[in-house]
Amino acid sequence: MKIKQGLIGSLLGVLAWSAVAADMPYLPYFHGKLPRLGSAIALIYDEQTQQPLYRKHENEVTPIASITKLMTAMVILDARLPLDEPITITREDRDRLKGTKSRLREGMTLRRGDLLALALMASENRAASALARTFPGGTPVMVALMNAKARELGMNYTRFAGPVGLQSENVSTAHDLVKMVQAAETYPEIRRATTQSSHTVQVGTQAMRFGNTNPLVRSRNWEIGLSKTGYISEAGNCLVMKARVSDRPTVIVLLDSWGKHTRVGDANRIKNWMESPVRRVSRKSRIR
């Protein structure tokens, strides 16, 4: 009887391990205990092995807030519009949905390239709105092209209702956002804008300095190639990055973080985990 119970226990153990293993990414090593993240949705993708290192609800469809602006920027750049063309902020660019504030006042005129930089690194909503409003065909055409671009990239669970990210109908998954980050990284203008710590624009006789919404770009401990933050109440705090961590090209997606600083804390926890001493484990020992 005891032997039968032991066999049953062993079989249950094997079945339980198989169920877990089926949901685990293939890893040539373990980094030890997985980090505890405050973000409700997370995906760490190793571009070197093309495998996820960590995943948490990565296929859940969720609002993505200003992460949207990466797609807005790609569509603008794909259109090859002159970046030195002046664009004036108007009443139409005011946020009537969430009532967010902006330092860009009505009547201010900036170059399209500066508006693009501010939309990306400072997440300026009026900048993104003005870019879409002055796009050939206007905002509706811009949004249609954003959705077409998403389909082209294989982002099957992504939908855009607007170019700014204020609408909760702008949704995606962590898995889809890895694809968007990888596509956005191919644009030098996006890489440059999203990783600079600040950007100064000349508006008439006034020089206006804007800071990056991701404080990690100012850290010497990080080697970041692309970055974008986002927040609306429906989406929580969001962060996507392409970075080199532990000498590996890595895409980090953190969505629906419950606190303002949680996304940054989670990114640092991920970095510490990946840089912890590696304990190599043979395939045989992993299936015991």
Instruction: Assess whether 257 carries a catalytic annotation.
Output: no
Using one digit for the tens of pLDDT, what is the confidence trace for 59-85?
999 999 999 999 999 999 999 999 999
Report yes or no: 133 and 143 within 8 Å, Cβ to Cβ.
no
**2-286: what fold?**
Beta-lactamase (3.40.710)
Helix, strand and coil in the chain, % to nearest 5: 40, 25, 40
Among 252, 211, 244, residue whose Cα is nearest residue 53? 252
Q: Which of these is catalytic: 39, 102, 123, 172? A: 123
**DSSP 8-state symbol, 74:** H
Instruction: Assess whether 101 carries a catalytic annotation.
Output: no
Q: Which of these is catalytic: 69, 179, 228, 271? A: 69
The number of residues in the chain equals: 288
Predicted confidence band of residue 187 (pLDDT cuts 50, 70, 90): very high
Per-residue model confidence (pLDDT) at position 268: 96
Helices (H), 79-124: 112-121
Distance CA 288, CA 14 (A): 8
Using one digit for the tens of pLDDT, what is the confidence trace for 211-228?
999 999 999 999 999 999
Instruction: Assess whether 123 carries a catalytic annotation.
Output: yes
Domain ranges across the chain = 2-286
What pTM does this model have? 0.87
Classify residue 70 as exposed, middle or buried by CB count within 10 Å of its CB (0-12, 13-18, 19+).
Answer: buried
Per-residue model confidence (pLDDT) at position 282: 43
Is the pLDDT confidence value at 118 over 70? yes
Tracing tokens 């969001």 back to the chain, one arrives at 238
Is the pLDDT confidence value at 281 over 60? no
Q: Which of these is catalytic: 66, 172, 227, 257? A: 66
Per-residue model confidence (pLDDT) at position 278: 66
Is the pLDDT confidence value at 15 over 60? no
Predicted confidence band of residue 16 (pLDDT cuts 50, 70, 90): very low
Using one digit for the tens of pLDDT, what is the confidence trace for 150-173?
999 999 999 999 999 999 999 999
Arithmetic mean of pLDDT over the chain: 88
User: Which pair of tokens denotes residue 156?
Assistant: 């099957």
Percent of the chain at pLDDT above 70?
85
